[in-house]
């Protein structure tokens, strides 16, 4: 019995601006996860606020929106066995200063906010986040 899943991933503006998207994509491929959709875009304030609406009451919401709109991001759909947990393990803890050096956040992140990557935390979150960034047409046949 297999547990093939899809998960959503973002390479955040700090990592894109620093030129680390290639290194992050290489680590994804080395991990055995498959990139089934990928696009580069720059989020508007409205798009970032919508994506992070779940955090709208939190004190860090404003700075998170500002950060996520300061430069381009790379949005991806990843697929593989237990993809959600595997991507989260590859990323490491949210706070990059506490992330092991072999993780993406430990390698490329600098703080709890500027932590290089984002990933879905559960199947329902992954479905919502994938749908927020990718249309059915973009994922058809993949």
Distance CA 130, CA 68 (A): 17
Distance CA 11, CA 26 (A): 13
Residues 6+ apart with CB under 8 A from 45: 65, 69
Residues 6+ apart with CB under 8 A from 123: 5, 84
- Displacement of CA 18 from its chain's centroid (Å): 16
Residue 118 known to be catalytic? yes
Q: Which residues are catalytic?
A: 118
């Amino acid at each position: 019995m297999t547990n093939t899943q899809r998960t959503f991933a973002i390479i955040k503006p700090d990592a894109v601006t620093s030129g680390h998207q290639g290194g992050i994509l290489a680590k994804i491929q080395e991990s055995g996860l498959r990139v089934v959709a990928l696009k580069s875009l720059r989020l508007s304030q409205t798009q970032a606020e919508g994506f992070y609406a779940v955090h709208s009451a939190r004190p860090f919401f404003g700075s998170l929106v500002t950060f996520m709109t300061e430069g381009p991001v790379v949005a991806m759909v990843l697929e593989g066995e237990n993809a959600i947990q595997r991507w989260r393990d590859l990323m490491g803890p949210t706070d990059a200063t506490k992330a092991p050096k072999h993780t993406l956040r430990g390698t490329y992140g600098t703080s709890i906010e500027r932590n290089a990557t984002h990933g879905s935390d559960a199947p329902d979150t992954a479905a919502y986040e994938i749908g927020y960034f990718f249309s059915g047409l973009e994922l058809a046949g993949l």
